[in-house]
Amino acid sequence: METNFGFVRVAAAVPTLRVADCAYNASQIKQQIDEAIQEGVEVICFPELSLTGYTCADLFFTQALQQKSMRELESICDYTRGKAIIALVGAPLKVGNDLFNCAFVITDGEVTGVVPKVNLPNTGEFYEKRWFTSGRATREFTPGGIAPRIPKIEIWSGEVPFGTDLLFSTRNYTFGIEICEDLWSPLPPSTQLAIQGAELIFNLSSSNCLVGKNDFRRQMIRQQSARVHCGYIYTSSGVGESTTDVVFSGSTYIAENGTMLQEGERFQRSNSMIIQELDIERLRTDRQRNTNFTKDQAGHYRTINVAPIEREIEFTEPLHRRFSTTPFLPTKQEEDQYCMDVFSIQTSALARRWEHTHAQTLEVGISGGLDSTLALLVCVQAADILGYDRERIVGVTMPGFGTSDRTYQNALNLMECLGITHREISICETTTQHLSDIAHDIDNHDVTYENAQARVRTLILMDLANELNGLVVGTGDLSELALGWCTYSGDQMSMYGVNAGIPKTLVRYLVKYAAENLFGEELRSILLDVVETPVSPELLPTDEEGNIAQKTEDKVGPYELHDFFLYYFMRYGFTRDKIRYMACRAFEDKYDEETIDKWLNTFMRRFCQQQFKRSCMPDGPKVVSVSLSPRGDWRMPSDASCI
């Protein structure tokens, strides 16, 4: 498992079924177990009452069906002997005078535990209380809390643990089980199972199909997986069930902490199965950070050690799971709401700060690049919602030795279209004088030459803000802060950093979204050209044709890679090796492993070395799931060793 970076491969299976034909149903279950083993699956989950069929009705009372079910369950157990897999099979179980709807956990020829269903539907077309006893009957209140009343049951292989208080633990993860209606109850068993340590929840279900129900069911699964930070694996009865009154579609889902990783196709008339990898390390990170996720010591839960046979050849990479190359960006379906939320967060934050400081103006340096463009759009929106004249926004162009014709013209056109006040102050003379004062050769285009320009620009903005009773709005973004790609006491400093919570890939996305959805044709063309302009600090002289000679991504690497590294390092604390592995999977069609190694090393080195710039960064709103504010998400010593 260590070589798999915490990924656990699971399957949600729907076998073809004949109602009350246990031998046939067992044969299909065995076939799917073999298919899962071939795919390297560690745990396979079958639907509720998959051995008999859910729609047997009063046939559940018959001894013949009960005996056939147990006989075929034993044959499935024998079939798994020597096989490296855990199988969860649904079947009825008679205990004394009670009949329970159960999930059997089968490993290497043995039943390691049996979990009865707790919440039995008794309305509409389902009358489970007619046939089954609730799993609540297996527990009782004692002076010390809730304890099992029937801790074990006798089956063909001897005594096995029985009850709703069972957790199943392997060397690498712990899982719990709930059955169908349990998820729909006000307090699903999975909630307490997760609190007690279950990282994966398997739901053996027989939920029928109604118009609109699939969307609601999907939403419930996503929400429950998010609520308890778990992987949730769900499978339900297929089209082989009786259609006397209802239809079953064979719905399958695998979710992880609020994200639906995979959903199977419904109404399949042959065996179907979805396979996916769940990230146990990712789940544990979220639980670790959620300080309310603490174990309830009052509850009585038993942990059953499950030791599946080790595989002769471990799979070395997830074949099914895919990683987005842009983890900070929305899906196409989420785009409108996501982008408007981002703009609203930034705008609301700046408007509040503007009101509170009673500043007469906002000063923002406009370079014609992505970051300053986004900052200006936010300034304009803040002025509009406050009812302020846009002329109170002072956009300052500060041409220097590396300013290109393209960015300069875009800056001018942008300010004119938005109707703000424009000031132009060249930094060339001041920078030249300053370099002369410190005896630095102006033809030596080193870091001193570059940073002197950045600091002069900040000096101009700060002094102008004093003169105009204004507030300097910072333009630097989250990705630049992570890499330390900013000049200390230069563009690193402002009075409020509206972009400090926005990664570079999202900055580009937002400007493009604004161009295509929020503005007219004239401004749209300017914004789209800004999006297409290479990212550059423009601190080195342009080429002979006035074009940008200094491109940031040539120096520090592609921002799409750095944002990928940043997301998984900060959000989940993953190791360098795991991030590398995921990046190689995500970008396999674009970057080779050598390139990814190079820029990952750059990211890790710069992230650790440049913390001192973040330790004194100005205020700014958190927008995405991570932030580098020393007052919020990220507190780190400035002299920490490289991780």
Cite the active site residues: 48, 117, 180
- H/E stretch holding 231 reads strand 231-236
User: Which segments within 388-483 are labelled E, that is strand?
Assistant: 393-397, 421-424, 470-474
CA angle 426, 473, 417 (to 5 degrees): 70
| Spatial separation of the C-alpha atoms in residues 358 and 106, rounded to whole Å | 69
* Residue for token pair 């005896």: 439
3-state helix, strand, coil in the chain (%, to 5): 40, 20, 40
Phi-psi region of 6 (alpha: psi -120 to 50; beta: other; left: phi over 0): left
| Spatial separation of the C-alpha atoms in residues 557 and 555, rounded to whole Å | 6
Give 594-605 as a 3 state SS string: HHHHHHHHHHHH
Question: What are phi and psi for residue 270, nearest 5 degrees?
Answer: -135, 175
Structural tokens at position 460: 């101009």
Chain centroid, CA 110 distance in Å? 36
| Spatial separation of the C-alpha atoms in residues 573 and 565, rounded to whole Å | 10
- H/E stretch holding 90 reads strand 86-95
Question: What are phi and psi for residue 74, nearest 5 degrees?
Answer: -65, -40
In Å, how far are 74, 100, 132 from 97, measured between CA atoms? Answer: 22, 10, 10
Is residue 124 classed exposed, middle or buried when 0-12, 13-18 and 19+ CB atoms within 10 A define those classes?
A: exposed
| Spatial separation of the C-alpha atoms in residues 90 and 179, rounded to whole Å | 9
* Residue for token pair 């803000």: 465
User: Which segments within 335-489 are labelled E, that is strand?
Assistant: 361-365, 393-397, 421-424, 470-474
- H/E stretch holding 236 reads strand 231-236
In Å, how far are 438, 470, 502, 617, 624 from 621, measured between CA atoms? Answer: 37, 19, 9, 12, 10
Is residue 134 helix, strand or coil?
A: coil
Determine contact, residues 345/621, Cβ cutoff 8 Å: yes
Amino acid identity at 416: E
Kindly write down the DSSP assignment for every residue of 514-565, as one continuous string.
Answer: HHHHTS-HHHHHHHHHHHHSPP----S---TTS-----HHHHH--HHHHHHH
Phi-psi region of 5 (alpha: psi -120 to 50; beta: other; left: phi over 0): left
Determine contact, residues 267/14, Cβ cutoff 8 Å: no
Is residue 573 classed exposed, middle or buried when 0-12, 13-18 and 19+ CB atoms within 10 A define those classes?
A: middle
| Spatial separation of the C-alpha atoms in residues 231 and 280, rounded to whole Å | 8
Determine contact, residues 208/246, Cβ cutoff 8 Å: yes
